[in-house]
Amino acid sequence: MMKFFLFIALLASAGSAFAVETDRWEPDAKDVLNVKGGVLNPLFRIRTESTAGETKNSEVDFEPTPFTKYFVGIGYRNLGATISWSGANNPEDADKYGTGTSLDFQFSAFGRNITQYYFYQNYNGYYVNNTSTIDPSFPQNKYIQRPDISTRHYGANFVYNFQPERYSRAVAFDQSGRQIRSGGAWLAMLGIHNHAFSANPQLIPTQVSGKYGELATLQQADLLQANLSGGGGFTWVFNDKFSVSTEILLGYGIAYEKYESAEYTYRKTDGSLNSNLSFSFGYNGVSNYGIIQVGMDAYTYHLPDMDLAMTSQRASFHYGHRFDGIDVPFLNKVSGWLD
């Protein structure tokens, strides 16, 4: 681990010593308050697949009951926070998918080299998205409803940008500035995550639970991991004020896993895989912008007789406006600490 961070520090030093290129992007002025609002579709999915004996058609895909969600985000200097809330349940959707609740919160700090994300997700109420596969006798256009399933995901990601003069994550995914010329950069990420769920009486539907060996009656899990990832990002600018940004990071982590079935409690430390994908497209003018964004963070854990995938997904459309002439001394000081 220490060797990895030493390698990161050396690369950063080298980048600072040899980078002579002028920035391909321009940040918001320091006195700008950046406010955005829009429609958000976040998901926290669970997917299980048997790895014991007969595994055909053993996959189970759990998704939270769907909501129309709205969000408001505020950005000032390199600070940003977003909160979302759900609209009312559509009666037809409630009959089809069931009902539930959800909460998503994220705080971010965008420095020139380092981006910090802190987040919390909590979902109650799920349905089985591939019901027709695991139970062909189930009525068409209906889903197995699981109001008993609750999930929680919280943690932090720290992303290091090795070429900040060519590419800005703040511009690409927070619109706290504008990319002037196309450019990309190599990225590295350290992540710390906690994934947890509970189900009563068990997570796996009885239709396929016999394929899951000793975890057929899995009831809850608490999974804590730290991971390192590497990849890159690129922003393509066209027609002056339009741009497309994309990022891909792949990595490996060490996880402490605690999970319980109806019969046993298990504890172990094991490796895990993760991937992080982000995409952004839209108009980014001097004062106004309209952006479509999609992102996915996927983590895979290997349990006895089972692969468990926990995936956060988000898709949004939002409009934003930059207000000039704002000065908040306290936030100025906090921003300076995090830059």
Q: 148-195 pLDDT, tens per residue?
A: 999 999 999 999 999 999 999 999 998 989 999 999 999 999 999 999
Whether 202 contacts 182, CB under 8 Å: no
Predicted confidence band at 88 (pLDDT cuts at 50, 70, 90)? low
* 3-state helix/strand/coil string of 283-297: EECCCEEEEEEEEEE
Average pLDDT over residues 256-277: 93
Residues 231-245 pLDDT 10s: 999 999 999 899 999
Whole-structure pTM value: 0.85
Q: Quick check: 219 and 262 in contact, CB under 8 A?
A: yes
Residue 6 backbone phi and psi in degrees, to 5: -65, -40
Confidence of residue 20 (pLDDT cuts 50, 70, 90): low
Q: Can you tell me the distance from the alpha carbon of 57 to that of 240, in angstroms, rounded to the nearest whole number?
A: 50
The answer to whether the beta carbons of residues 181 and 163 sit under 8 Å apart is no
Output the pLDDT for position 66. 83
User: Largest Cα–Cα distance in the chain?
Assistant: 66
pLDDT of residue 18: 45
The residue ranking higher by pLDDT, 298 or 57, is 298
* pLDDT, the chain, mean: 89
What's the pLDDT band for 90 if we cut at 50, 70, 90? confident
Taking only the tens place, the pLDDT of each residue in 293-306 is 999 999 999 998 89
pLDDT of residue 16: 46
According to the model, what pLDDT value does residue 153 have? Answer: 95
From the list 213, 223, 216, the residue with the least C-alpha distance to 202 is: 216
Residue 4 pLDDT:
47
pLDDT of residue 17: 45
Q: What integer pLDDT is reported at residue 107 of this predicted model?
A: 84
Residue 15 has pLDDT above 80, yes or no: no
